[in-house]
A and B are shown apart, each in its own frame.
Chain A
Amino acid sequence: MKRLISVLLENEPGSLSRVVGLFSQRGYNIDSLSVAPTEDKTLSRLTLTTVGDDHKIEQITKQLNKLIDVVKVIDLSEGVHIERELMLLKVKASGAARAEIKRCVDIFRGQIVDVGPTTYVVQIMGESTKLDAFIEALGDAAILEVVRTGVCGLLRGEKSLKI
């Protein structure tokens, strides 16, 4: 099962490599990873997606908590949460395809953020499944380049990951 894990981390040199190292060292997968400092510059917030059964996720959260630099860990997928990912795509856009792509972008509530003579750069935001669906809708032939930020997320409601 896909899981979304959120980690509050000391913003120290090397702390990210400890998290990433833990995953490879213990044979856990990371499917996506996003990380940046929070409003408190001494802390980073890291969101990662991984797959595993309950037993594996329990071990992952315990092992993460064991890292000295990790302040807090939550499994977002356990509660009601919001997740978002941003994707930029460079697509072939000439002739009739230009209008076609524009329509598709509109349906997915995306934006065309750069226009070239034969290309568009498209921006799409949403849950990962929506981004996947957009890629599928467009088809491989049209796509020149894709870059995704990885998922970030937080819990709905009043509960928050803070120290």
Chain B
Amino acid sequence: MELLSGGEILIRALSDAKVKHLWGYPGGAALHIYDAIFRQDKLDHILMRHEQAAVHAADAYARVTGEVGAALVTSGPGATNAITGIATAYMDSIPLVVISAQVPQEKIGEDAFQEIDMIGVSRPTVKHSYMVKRPEDIAETIAKAFYIASTGRPGPVVVDVPKDVTDPNNKVAYKFPEKVKLRSYQPTTRGHSGQIKRAVNLLMSAKRPIIYSGGGVVLGNASEQLRALARRLNYPVTNTLMGLGAFPGTDRQFVGMLGMHGTFEANTAMHHADVILAVGARFDDRVTNAVDRFCPSAKIIHIDVDPSSIAKTVRVDIPIVGPCDVVLSDMLDQIQQADLQTDEPAIGEWWQQIDEWRSRHGIYTQSRYEPSEGDNIKPQDVIKTLYKVTKGEALVSSDVGQHQMFAAQYYLFDKPRQWINSGGLGTMGFGLPAAMGAQMAYPDANVVCVTGEGSIQMCIQELAACTQHQLPVKIIILNNQALGMVKQWQDMQYGSRYSHVLYEDSLPDFVKLAEAYGHVGMKVTHYDQLESSMEECFALKDRVVIMDISVDQHEHVYPMHVAPGSMRDMWLSKTERT
């Protein structure tokens, strides 16, 4: 058997866990590990400019590929910088393994230089964590970490590695375990057949059904099964912010996103539904509005791999614990085998009603905002143009704010894993490193970061890492000169008292900024230039381009839930509500 040092074992084990890219940032406690990285060529390490960004990039890599992302940070400040990234992944259930270096074991507890209790600090943001105490334990711990991160409801796992464990002078035998088993962790692999039967019966008898599908369908690779079931039933489908792309955005059966900024037709259909099939969704407060007024006449079927997601906020009639793909295909099998039929006349009427809602207030049947004109570019039109220029095929990451909601509403995602955003934690600064992670996974794809002039400044340093690692992402700034989403709330609830959402002429010149990093900068101020500039931007295949697009500073995102209220209570414009 081969003898290796702890540092070497760590890197070998990561390779054996099928990691191709390790996103990281070095430091004292990680020196042995970085030396082991230097002396091998299997694993590609990507030096970022901030640990938060390293974790976001690894996270996005996982989101677009379905594999486990991996990041490496040093102890102390490296570890604490990683926390925002880990928490972002945790809230969206992203499979991720983060290795944090730690001070040597004999120094732990002494407030040593760059010591932080990473296990303690990260605890509420991880699915699980380990501290490795001996080099002999590294390989098995890494195997367990990857197993836990990727199975059941996925999530981030932290592995804290004290420096003495990676000592190059202490060599031990290396073997990567082929299989791991944990007696205290056995994720469900099938749904309960009795429950599935009950669910199918309820589903077939529905008169006003809707399928409400969330991020779990994307993460659980259940998009195909969802599409097959929805088509067989001819029921309307709505996706959550995290679920966009799981059901095609351009499909006739798709009624748009639901929730706080969901479409009129999706939210209204939810409110009136008699049966809701919730799949891989968690009745998040950004979806439900006031839970006590949520969908008063609906019987709810809820499929989720995590039992604690079921009946957490909203009561459920038929819970099914299991992986979305398996449960959905079991449901479809039952329907096919018994050749069950839906209530076609009722469903026909339901569609008529939905189509009427669509034509009344839908954002896809008609433009619901003033048209762009001259130097007044509407942010919605930027996304529509982006959609057109990229033929709807780009991988789109976003930051957090109005631009995120416009992207979610107007870029019609047809494929799962095409839309990459921080839905649960809502982390500004996610967009650029996320785009980098996606570009690393798909070097030839068009990867776009839709961002705001506020958010982009939160991980702007990664423009340098884009240069170093040739990640030609395209950055589309919807520049409304404000922390727009916060400003929108101040407009709506605080009498337009703009407390600290404006920058008083302190915004950087984004064109010069791009150039300072060796990239291309473009400024767009007229609607006439928008499409041609964007064409130009995407023609620059090998370059990072920042498009600084001046958009209407007064635009709000609509629809917007009136809170507290039911699903159907919405503002449709600044003056109009349901």
Q: Which residues of chain A in 50-67 are interfacial with respect to chain B, using CB atoms and an 8 Å cutoff? A: 55, 58-59, 62-63, 65-66
Within 8 Å of chain A (Cβ to Cβ): is B119? yes
- What's the least CB distance linking A58 to chain B, in Å? 7
Instruction: Tell me, yes or no, whether A13 is within 8 Å of chain B by CB.
Output: yes
Given B124, B128, B184, B308, which contacts A59 in the complex, CB threshold below 8 Å?
B308
Chain A, interface size category, equals: 10 to 19
Chain B positions within 8 Å of A116 at CB level: none
Neighbour of B184 across the interface among A14, A21, A71, CB < 8 A: A71
Chain B residue numbers with a CB within 8 Å of A68 are 127-128, 148, 182, 184-185
Is A163 an interface residue when CB atoms closer than 8 A count as contact? yes
Assess A59 versus B123: contact at CB under 8 Å? Given A68-B182, A68-B185, A71-B183.
no
Contact (A69, B312) CB under 8 Å given A14-B119, A14-B131: no
Q: Chain B residues near A18: list those with CB within 8 A.
A: 123
Bound-state CA distance A152–B363 (Å) is: 59
When distances are taken between beta carbons in the complex, the residues of chain B under 8 Å from A58 are: 311
The 7 A-B pairs of least Cβ separation, nearest first, read A62-B308, A68-B128, A71-B184, A25-B124, A68-B185, A62-B307, A66-B308
Q: Which residues of chain B are near A65, meaning CB under 8 Å?
A: 307-308
Bound CA–CA A68/B127 (angstroms): 8
A66 with B124: CB separation less than 8 A: no
Q: How far is the CB of B352 from chain A (nearest CB, A)?
A: 38
Contact check: which of B131, B148, B182, B184 meets A13 at CB < 8 Å?
B131
Which of the listed residues B127, B182, B184, B311 has the most CB atoms from chain A within 10 Å of its own CB?
B184
Question: Which residues in chain A, 12-37, are within 8 Å of chain B measured between CB atoms?
Answer: 13-14, 17-18, 21, 25
Chain B residues closer than 8 Å to A25, beta-carbon distance? 124
A163 touches B183 (CB 8 A): yes
Instruction: Report the bound CA distance from A14 to B132 in whole Å.
Output: 12
What are some 22 contacts across the A-B interface (CB < 8 A)?
A13-B131, A17-B123, A18-B123, A21-B124, A25-B124, A58-B311, A59-B308, A59-B312, A62-B307, A62-B308, A63-B308, A65-B307, A65-B308, A66-B307, A66-B308, A68-B127, A68-B128, A68-B148, A68-B184, A68-B185, A69-B184, A71-B183
> B194 in the interface, Cβ–Cβ < 8 Å?
no
Nearest-neighbour CB distance to chain B for A31, whole angstroms, equals 22
Does B306 sit within 8 A of A, measured CB to CB?
yes
- Closest chain B residue to A72, Cβ basis: B184
Least CB distance from B16 to A in Å reads 22
CA distance A63 to B123 in the complex (A): 14
Least CB distance from A22 to B in Å reads 9
Q: How far is the CB of A24 from chain B (nearest CB, A)?
A: 9
Smallest CB gap from B182: residue in A: A68
Q: Does B495 interact with chain A (Cβ within 8 Å)?
A: no
What sequence of 0s and 1s flags, for each residue 202-233 of chain B, a beta carbon within 8 Å of any chain A beta carbon? 00000000000000000000000000000000
Q: How large is the interface on B (under 10, 10 to 19, 20 to 34, 35 or more residues)?
A: 10 to 19
> Does chain A have a CB within 8 A of B120?
yes
Beyond the given pairs A66-B306, A68-B184, 16 more chain A to chain B contacts, judged by CB atoms under 8 angstroms and listed by A's residue number, are A13-B131, A14-B119, A14-B129, A17-B123, A21-B123, A58-B311, A63-B308, A66-B307, A66-B308, A68-B148, A68-B182, A69-B128, A69-B184, A71-B183, A71-B184, A163-B183
**Interface residues, chain B, CB within 8 Å of chain A?**
119-120, 123-124, 127-129, 131, 148, 182-185, 306-308, 311-312
Chain B residue at minimum C-beta to C-beta distance from A25: B124
A75 within 8 A of B: no
Residue ID in chain A nearest B144 by CB atoms: A68
Most chain A beta carbons < 10 A, residue from B148, B185, B306: B185
Chain A residues contacting B182 (CB-CB under 8 Å) are: 68
Q: Which residues of B contact A66 (CB under 8 A)?
A: 306-308
> Secondary structure of the B side of the interface?
mixed
Query: What per-residue 1/0 map shows which CB atoms of A79-112 lie under 8 Å from chain B?
Result: 0000000000000000000000000000000000
**Within the complex, what minimum Cβ distance (angstroms) separates B118 from chain A?**
11
Please tell me if the beta carbons of A17 and B184 are within 8 angstroms of each other in the complex.
no
A2: min CB distance to chain B, Å: 22
Q: Compute how far the CA of A18 lies from the CA of B129 in the bound complex, rounded to whole angstroms.
A: 10
Query: Is B308's CB under 8 angstroms from A70's CB?
Result: no
A55 is contacted by which of B128, B131, B185, B311 (Cβ under 8 Å)? Answer: B311
Residues of B within 8 A of A69 (CB): 128, 184
The distance from the CB of B337 to the nearest CB of chain A, in whole angstroms, is 33
Chain B residues with Cβ below 8 Å from A14 are 119, 129, 131
Residues from chain A with Cβ under 8 Å of B185 in the complex = 68
Min CB distance A37 to B, Å, is: 15
Distance from B65 Cβ to chain A, minimum over Cβ atoms (Å): 24
Complex contacts, A62 vs chain B, CB 8 Å: 307-308
Nearest-CB distance from B325 to chain A (Å)?
21
Question: Would you give the shortest CB distance from B422 to chain A, in whole angstroms?
Answer: 20
Cα distance A18–B306 in the bound complex, in angstroms: 18
Task: Give A153 Cβ to nearest chain B Cβ, in Å.
Answer: 21
Give every chain A residue within 8 A of B124 (Cβ-Cβ): 21, 25
Alpha-carbon separation in the docked complex, A55 to B306 (Å): 16
Are the CB atoms of B123 and A70 closer together than 8 Å?
A: no
CA A14 – CA B122 in complex, angstroms?
A: 12
- Return the chain B residue nearest A163 by Cβ: B183
A13 to B105: give the CA distance in the assembly, Å.
14
Q: Give chain A residues whose Cβ lies under 8 Å from the Cβ of B184.
A: 10, 68-71
Residues in B with CB closer than 8 Å to A59 are 308, 312
Q: Once the chains are docked, how many angstroms separate the CA of A11 from the CA of B148?
A: 18
Residues of B within 8 A of A13 (CB): 131
Whole-angstrom distance from the CB of A63 to the nearest CB of chain B? 5
Assembly CA distance A63 to B119 (angstroms): 19
With both beta carbons as reference points, the residue of chain A lying nearest to B306 in the complex is identified as A66
Nearest-neighbour CB distance to chain B for A41, whole angstroms, equals 15
Q: Mark A151-163, 1 if CB is under 8 A from B, else 0.
A: 0000000000001
Distance (whole angstroms) from the CB of B140 to the closest CB of chain A: 14
* Chain B residues closer than 8 Å to A10, beta-carbon distance: 184
Chain A residues lying within 8 Å of B183, measured Cβ to Cβ, are: 71, 163
* Min distance, Cβ B128 to any Cβ of chain A, angstroms: 4
Give A64 to B504 CA distance when docked, in angstroms: 49
- Could you say which residues of chain A place their CB within 8 Å of the CB of B308? 59, 62-63, 65-66
User: Complex formed: what's the CA distance from A66 to B308 in Å?
Assistant: 8
B465 CB, min distance to chain A CBs, angstroms? 33
